[in-house]
């Protein structure tokens, strides 16, 4: 492993803590591909010699990278580099497929269920329609590089999108269909995010154990005229995803519930 065959790294005494310098060196090696998923790091004492630092310093750096899910530590086997979490930008309202392609990943979808049903109360309120109004329901499992990432359940007003279920929703972008077939462009969305434990069915579909941490994201998307178009409930694997949002001064709002 070329990272550790070069001369050892000299840590600098000063304002930057030693453990953070070790963390930065390892993180940089991962980001530039010198350390790849599946690579096994040298033992803790070997790292101490390489960085000329204490065992506590090395362990703090490894603990931080483990917390960020960049490393996994296996008892009796060692410490290994993991796949980077899939990062999504909450400020962008767009196609899952396009977003994953832009990140250099290979997305795919598995269509689980479609129907036209009466809107549940919460969905009716979000879409600003009467309770019991007919809505299109689409449930898809979204995968990245062949691994399940998101269980997605979407409701849309049925009267606005006749014939939508005739489309190939396993392979076509829903947002592209709305724009090209129905002249409906989604302009903005309101989202809430909360941590949850996976239920039995969710865990099975996402290839996880029941109760494992996940993120529940509820989204209401609005069209170019400010009308609600989509209610989406997404359950996202907690071990594979990371979400990013930028806040701008007094315009930023944080909603906790």
Residue 206 sits in a domain whose CATH number is: 3.40.1410.10
Residue 47: exposed, middle, or buried by beta-carbon count in 10 A (0-12, 13-18, 19+)? buried
Indicate whether 50 and 96 sit together in one domain. no
Residue 36: exposed, middle, or buried by beta-carbon count in 10 A (0-12, 13-18, 19+)? exposed
What is the full DSSP assignment across 47-70? HHHHHT--HHHHHHHHHHHHHTTS
Residue 256 domain-assigned?
Answer: no
Residue 189 belongs to domain spanning: 86-251
| Size of the chain in residues | 257
CB-based contact 213:197 (threshold 8 Å): yes
Q: What is the CATH number of the domain that holds 65?
A: 1.10.10.10
The pLDDT score that the predictor gives to residue 248 is 53
Indicate whether 103 and 52 sit together in one domain. no
What is the full DSSP assignment across 114-140? EEEEEPPHHHHHHHT--TT-EEEEEEE
The pLDDT score that the predictor gives to residue 135 is 96
96 closest CA partner among 245, 236, 247, 254: 236
Residue 58's Cβ-side half-sphere holds a number of Cα atoms within 13 Å equal to 17
Residue 52 domain-assigned?
Answer: yes
Tokens for 186, please give them: 């989604």
Opening angle at CA 215, ends 210 and 219, nearest 5: 130
Opening angle at CA 133, ends 130 and 136, nearest 5: 135
| Per-residue confidence in pLDDT tens, the chain, 257 aa | 578 876 778 888 888 899 999 999 998 888 888 888 889 999 999 999 999 999 999 999 999 898 877 888 888 889 998 876 665 555 556 666 666 666 677 788 999 999 999 998 999 999 999 988 999 999 999 998 888 999 999 999 999 999 999 999 999 999 999 999 999 999 999 988 898 999 999 999 999 999 988 989 999 999 999 999 999 999 998 877 666 555 555 444 444 33
What is the Cα–Cα distance from 196 to 205, expressed in whole angstroms?
16
Alpha helices (H) along 160-213: 174-182, 200-205
Indicate whether 116 and 225 sit together in one domain. yes
Opening angle at CA 164, ends 163 and 167, nearest 5: 105
Indicate whether 34 and 141 sit together in one domain. no
Indicate whether 213 and 134 sit together in one domain. yes
Indicate whether 95 and 34 sit together in one domain. no
């Amino acid at each position: 492993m070329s990272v550790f065959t070069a001369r050892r790294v000299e840590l600098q005494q000063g304002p930057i803590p030693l453990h953070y310098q070790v963390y930065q060196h390892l993180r940089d090696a991962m980001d530039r591909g010198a350390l790849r998923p599946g690579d096994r790091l040298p033992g803790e004492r070997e790292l101490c010699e390489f960085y000329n630092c204490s065992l506590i310093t090395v362990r703090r750096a490894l603990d931080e990278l483990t917390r960020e899910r960049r490393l996994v530590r296996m008892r009796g086997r060692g410490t290994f580099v993991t796949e980077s979490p899939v990062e999504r930008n909450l400020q962008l309202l767009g196609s899952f497929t396009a977003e994953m392609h832009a990140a250099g990943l290979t997305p795919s979808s598995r269509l689980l269920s479609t129907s036209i049903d009466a809107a549940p109360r919460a969905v009716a309120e979000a879409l600003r329609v009467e309770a019991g109004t007919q809505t299109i329901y689409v449930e898809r499992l979204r995968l990245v590089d062949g691994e399940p990432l998101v269980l997605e359940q979407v409701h849309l007003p049925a009267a606005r999108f006749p014939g939508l279920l005739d489309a190939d929703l396993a392979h076509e972008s829903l947002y592209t269909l709305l724009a090209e077939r129905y002249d409906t462009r989604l302009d903005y969305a309101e989202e809430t995010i909360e941590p949850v434990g996976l239920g039995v069915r969710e865990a099975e579909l996402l290839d996880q154990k029941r109760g494992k941490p996940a993120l529940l994201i509820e989204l209401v998307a609005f069209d170019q005229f400010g009308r609600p178009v989509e209610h989406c409930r997404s359950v996202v694997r907690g071990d594979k995803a990371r979400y990013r949002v930028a806040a701008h001064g007094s315009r930023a709002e944080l909603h906790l519930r």
